[in-house]
């Protein structure tokens, strides 16, 4: 399709957003993006390769905060499309789930209202498999876009709550007040892959911690993994598809890996550079004992032995999306963390 006049990508300094914006600029789009503080604009432009030439003219930055009304109308003005990627993603576990729930939900609604009022035609929102595959009990499960996380299940982590509440609130708002706004979501699993700067996503902390030896032994937990380049590509496909995207939902996952398999990939591919990556499995009883004193370990304890297969066949069939093998994403993450000096050799 012909590139639209302008698109708003919220959260321009984010991990996925950076890859998507570079792709949009390379394809000739006019891009608006939001940051919480415009003092970050020079560093953002440099990281995006939009600090000079034609790209500089086609990228505009606006100050907008998920918790404030100011700036959203100006950021959306003149846009025909929106990719809403701004959302809180903490490294630790907050004491109060509302620290994540409120900005994720209210920020999504602010972005959607601004999109509708500006005459935006299509919104692609980044949600997560966290809104799909939790609260279904231990064991092995296979999930599709028809599934939703069961928030009534005790012990649902705050981040998972925030993604579920935000997506449901967004869908409810569009159905009630969206007018002709075509809305869909991309729901990625754990996002790894190339790292452009030391200002990286919390999801990358998993690989960093393994390389640094901060995980002394490996609990019996696992994750779906997807490459950041493939997540950005799925957003691109949803933004540009000639098909109607209204109400669609797309899981983005390259496959499930146990933590011990992720560690093995690092050791096999990096050799001596992965010398601190643990090899021992941590017994379940030890995880449960540590969970009594550590909120982070407590979250891991609830995951012991659980396998979540997150089925991406819908994205493959509707949009022709084909993800890289998770191994490529893991290795790309590790090599860039080493090159950036985030992890010392």
Q: pLDDT tens, 246-304?
A: 999 999 999 999 999 999 999 999 999 999 999 999 898 888 888 787 776 777 777 88
Tell me what pLDDT residue 55 has: 87
CA distance 11 to 64: 9
CA distance 93 to 28: 40
Exposed, middle or buried by CB within 10 Å (0-12, 13-18, 19+), for 5? exposed
Tell me what pLDDT residue 199 has: 66
Q: Give the H or E element holding residue 122.
A: strand 122-126
Return the percent helix, strand and coil in the chain, to nearest 5: 45, 15, 40
Q: Which structural domains are found in the chain, ordered by start?
A: 7-339 (3.40.50.720)
CA distance 132 to 136: 10
Tell me what pLDDT residue 302 has: 79
Q: What's the average model confidence in pLDDT over 75-90? A: 91
> What is the longest distance spanned by two Cα atoms in the chain?
58
Helices (H), the chain: 15-26, 41-48, 53-58, 72-76, 98-118, 158-177, 205-212, 228-240, 259-270, 284-290, 295-301, 313-319, 326-339
Q: Find, among 164, 312, 283, 126, the residue nearest to 224 by Cα.
A: 312
Q: What is the DSSP letter of 106?
A: H
Q: What's the average model confidence in pLDDT over 232-259? A: 97
Helices (H), 62-157: 72-76, 98-118
Give bridge partners of residue 125 from the DSSP assignment. Answer: 84, 185
**3 state SS of 281:** strand
CB 152 within 8 A of CB 110: no
Phi-psi domain of 284 (left: phi exceeds 0; alpha: psi -120 through 50; beta: other):
alpha
Tell me what pLDDT residue 100 has: 92
Q: What's the average model confidence in pLDDT over 188-211? A: 88
The residues near 258 (Cβ < 8 Å, ≥ 6 apart) are 220, 221, 222
Tell me what pLDDT residue 184 has: 98
pLDDT for 1 beyond 60: no
CA distance 10 to 66: 10
CA distance 255 to 323: 9
CA distance 26 to 17: 14
Q: Which of 35-39, 131-135, 254-258, 299-303 comes out lowest in average pLDDT?
A: 299-303
Tokens 């933590």 correspond to what residue? Answer: 259
**3 state SS of 69:** coil
């Amino acid at each position: 399709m012909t590139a639209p006049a302008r698109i708003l990508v919220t959260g321009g300094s984010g991990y996925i957003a950076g890859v998507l914006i570079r792709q949009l600029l390379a394809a000739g789009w006019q891009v608006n993006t939001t940051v919480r503080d415009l003092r970050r604009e020079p560093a953002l432009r440099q990281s995006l390769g939009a600090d000079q030439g034609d790209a500089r003219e086609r990228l505009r930055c606006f100050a907008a905060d998920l918790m404030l009304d100011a700036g959203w109308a100006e950021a959306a003005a003149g846009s025909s499309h929106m990719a809403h990627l701004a959302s809180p993603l903490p490294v630790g576990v907050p004491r109060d789930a509302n620290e994540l729930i409120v900005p994720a939900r209210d920020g999504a609604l602010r972005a959607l209202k601004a999109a509708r009022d500006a005459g935006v035609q299509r919104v692609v929102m980044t949600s997560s498999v966290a809104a799909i595959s939790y609260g279904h009990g231990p064991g092995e499960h296979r999930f599709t876009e028809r599934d939703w996380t069961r928030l009534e299940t005790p012990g649902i982590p705050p981040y998972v709550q925030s993604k579920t509440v935000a997506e449901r609130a967004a869908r409810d708002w569009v159905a009630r007040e969206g007018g002709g706004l075509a809305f869909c979501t991309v729901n990625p699993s754990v996002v790894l892959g190339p790292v452009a700067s030391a200002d990286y996503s919390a999801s990358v902390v998993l690989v960093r911690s393994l390389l640094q030896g901060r995980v002394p032994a490996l609990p019996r937990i696992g994750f779906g993994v997807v490459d950041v380049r493939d997540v950005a590509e799925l957003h691109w496909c949803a933004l540009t598809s000639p098909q109607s995207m209204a109400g669609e939902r797309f899981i983005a996952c390259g496959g499930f890996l146990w933590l011990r398999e992720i560690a093995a990939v690092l050791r096999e591919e990096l050799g001596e550079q992965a010398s601190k990556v643990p090899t021992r499995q941590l017994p379940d009883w030890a995880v449960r004992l540590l969970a009594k004193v550590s909120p982070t370990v407590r979250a891991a304890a609830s995951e012991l032995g659980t396998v979540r297969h997150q089925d991406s066949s819908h994205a493959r069939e509707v949009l022709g999306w084909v993800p890289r093998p998770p191994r490529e994403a893991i290795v790309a993450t590790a090599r860039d963390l080493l090159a950036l000096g985030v992890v010392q050799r």
